[in-house]
Structure 1
Amino acid sequence: MSLDSKSAAPAHPAPGHQRRSALGSVLKLRELPVILALVILVTVTAALNPLFLSEQGIKDLLLNATILMILAVGQTLVIITRNIDLSVGSILGLVAFGTGSVFVAAPNLPIIAVFGIGILFGAVLGAVNGLLITVAKVPALVITLGTLYIFRGINNAWAGGTQYFAGDRPEAFGNLSVDTILGFPVITLIAVVVVAIVAVYMLGTRPGRDLYAIGSDPEAARLFGIPVTRRVLMAFVVNGALAGLAGVLYASRFNSVGATTGSGLELDVVAAAVVGGVAIFGGSGTVVGAAIGALLLTTITSALTALRVDKFWQQAIVGILILAAVVIDRIAGVRAARKLRIAEARNV
């Protein structure tokens, strides 16, 4: 064999190097701290209260996280584009009460049709937000804060003092949060499917990857030919549709829906996304991380309740987690920028 043929032979990294690279990739995952916190929390709580991980306890944990998981997935799409949607709780409330109204007006309507109506209703409300933001060029924080109150006011006017209870809905619809498949509640499996579909969309399709580019640098994204306005509008529409889906599932999960349904939920949604590793400044994060963040927040509440800790401390811990997530993300961003500047200086 000649010297040339030896130099042309492909170089294969040693197995030890491959293992170190794989381990390094795992350790760099933004979701890793959240997963570790969740594991530690569950382990400690189960040690102090063995009933916490009973069959019913696990089912309750999953059910409590389901609605927030779906909302956090939709919010992630919006935050990645450097926006935010504070109206998701009001959208959920409108759709949940609308679901109760539909069942009262048409009790024989197929359940799948009710899901379709709720998702479409939510998508329309999301489109209202998206159009106001992309066309009027007003910051999302201002627009969605306004629509939060507008949608809530519409729900108050529509519902008044009326509430729809479990007896007003078909039994099969209510059973979605009771029935299980392989031990998992049906509505939780719906949430898992949503997370999987959106995760594949974000990482495996051009429009999904465009959202990251927009969040990283909107002006650069425009220069590269990315339709920024259309992509941001799409993110708000999908976010609204998922809030609509969450509203329908809320009507199945809980015993009553009314004018106050979903109040204050938007803050928990943003918290779940941020704690799950979604950068509040846009451009990075995953829907899987947001879903895990939602599971962590609801597990914290359940764990502290099981340990009979005062509700104030539950809220304080969530606040500490949000601050920690933002600070860690900011430090990581500064370090990455510093490394990039050093690398550029060396190349020069």
Structure 2
Amino acid sequence: MSQPLRHDEGAEASTSEALLVEPSRLSRGRRVLGVVLRSRELSIFLVLVAVVVAATARNSGFLFSADGWRNFLLNPSILLLLAVGQATVIITRNVDLSVGSVMALTAYLTGRLFIDVPGIPVVVVFAAGLAAGALLGLVNGVLVSLARVPSLVITLGTLYAYRGIMLTWAGSERINAGDLPAGFLALANRSVLTVPVLTLVALAVLAVVGYYLYTARGGRELYAIGSDPDAALLYGLGVRRRVMAAFVLSGALAGLAGVVYTARYGTVSSSVGSGFELQAVAAVVIGGVAIFGGSGTVWGAAIGAFLLVTINRALPSLGIADFWQRAVWGALILGAIVLDRVLAARQARRLVRARDVA
């Protein structure tokens, strides 16, 4: 004969049953919407698809043409590289505002290497761009980690310092396509299975960094540091070393972006990279990386980069003035931040309810 349930057992059972039954009471549409909102990457991807569909419906050449498809894949590659590095830094609860200036310096360095060292291998130039960017990123990392000065202040200072070095070095000179070897410029036109080579380079970097952050212990420690730097320090994690490494990675990828920029456009002036630091931050935030660190993925940042660049191409074809392009960017950033706060508050309430039930 079964024993009757005690009052607390019955309450616990009924509560558990309620929790199990609750989701099934929602309509299928609301359940799908909930999944989309919880997956920031999926929601941003669906927005990207909607923009592409709207632009293509207005002008089929936007995507279904050789140049349209190529530009859709190739144009975001530079911002994608910057966004991946920026996302890694923001995950640690920091920010790197110097990436545009780093990109400018390495872009000009690329041109000078080809001019001053005739016959230099393209691979060596790519390596030099990575190394120069990593060195500039190391300066940021050392100042932030050892001097304990907020990264916003440090990288704002190096933004202007690096830009000043660029202006002093380049002056009024301009690197032109005629100064660069044809083999290097051909990288912008080469494709593998209709995917541009420069895009494949950016996607390879995305895959490596994304895999490291998701699987490696060092990658998970970056998330732990961003979630609570003080707790991570007490736990014994190498907070300074990890933060420094994040800035080095951001600088290296900005350096690589400078080389890719030179190969893509063939010309370099002193204004290269201006405003790219804010675009990188915007792509990361829109892609679902929490501005306060500890959550988000580089995959979302990459989709955010694609979305921003695609919007720039799509809105003119839809007959929307240039002014509204920036307005749409601002709306997306505000929407991403509000959504992040709403989802975080909802998750906190769920944890409280689960703890009360337990």
TM-score by length of 1: 0.91
Alignment: residue pair count: 328
1:236 aligns with 2:221: no
1:97 aligns with 2:143: no
Q: What's the CA shift string for 1:107-144, capped at 9, x where partnerless? A: 20000000011100000000000000000000000000
Partner of 1:126: 137
1:266 aligns with 2:277: yes
Residue 26 of structure 1 deviates from its aligned partner by 6.9
Q: What's the CA shift string for 1:189-240, capped at 9, x where partnerless? A: 0001010000100011000010010111111112222111100000000110
Residue 344 of structure 1 deviates from its aligned partner by 2.2
Residue 307 of structure 1 deviates from its aligned partner by 2.3
Partner of 2:205: 194
1:209 aligns with 2:220: yes
For the residues of structure 1 that align with 2:240 and 2:352, how far apart are their CA atoms? 31
CA contact (8 A) 1:279 1:329 kept: yes
Residue 341 of structure 1 deviates from its aligned partner by 2.0
Partner of 1:110: 121
Partner of 1:301: 312
RMSD of aligned Cα (Å): 1.6
Question: What one-letter code is carried by the residue in structure 2 that aligns with 1:28?
Answer: R
Q: What's the CA shift string for 1:71-109, capped at 9, x where partnerless? A: 000000000000000000000000000111111001200
Residue 260 of structure 1 deviates from its aligned partner by 1.1
CA contact (8 A) 1:90 1:148 kept: yes
Which of 231, 239, 256 is the equivalent residue of 1:245? 256
For the residues of structure 1 that align with 2:35 and 2:58, how far apart are their CA atoms? 34
Partner of 2:267: 256
Q: What's the CA shift string for 1:253-300, capped at 9, x where partnerless? A: 113102111011111000011111111111111111100100000000
CA contact (8 A) 1:107 1:169 kept: no
Distance of aligned partners of 1:197 and 1:25 in 2 relative to their CA distance in 1, 3 Å threshold: farther
Partner of 1:142: 153
1:46 aligns with 2:56: yes
Partner of 2:353: 342
For the residues of structure 2 that align with 1:259 and 1:96, how far apart are their CA atoms? 10
Residue 50 of structure 1 deviates from its aligned partner by 1.1
1:72 aligns with 2:83: yes
Question: What one-letter code is carried by the residue in structure 1 that aligns with 2:46?
Answer: L
CA contact (8 A) 2:175 2:268 kept: yes
1:55 aligns with 2:66: yes
Aligned residue for 2:272, secondary structure, equals coil
1:331 aligns with 2:326: no
For the residues of structure 1 that align with 2:47 and 2:93, how far apart are their CA atoms? 27
Q: What's the CA shift string for 1:282-335, capped at 9, x where partnerless? A: 111111110010000000000012223211001100110000001100111111
For the residues of structure 2 that align with 1:112 and 1:25, how far apart are their CA atoms? 44
| Residues 25-34 or 314-323, more deviating | 25-34
Unaligned runs of 5+ in 2: 1-23
1:278 aligns with 2:319: no
For the residues of structure 2 that align with 1:68 and 1:314, how far apart are their CA atoms? 17
Residue 342 of structure 1 deviates from its aligned partner by 2.4
Partner of 1:179: 190
CA contact (8 A) 1:74 1:242 kept: yes
| Residues 147-156 or 42-51, more deviating | 42-51
Partner of 2:176: 165
State the identity %: 54
For the residues of structure 2 that align with 1:29 and 1:342, how far apart are their CA atoms? 22
Partner of 1:35: 45
Structure 1 runs of 4+ aligned residues shifted over 4 Å read: 22-27
| Residues 186-195 or 334-343, more deviating | 334-343
For the residues of structure 2 that align with 1:80 and 1:117, how far apart are their CA atoms? 27
CA contact (8 A) 2:84 2:301 kept: yes
TM-score by length of 2: 0.89
Distance of aligned partners of 1:330 and 1:27 in 2 relative to their CA distance in 1, 3 Å threshold: closer
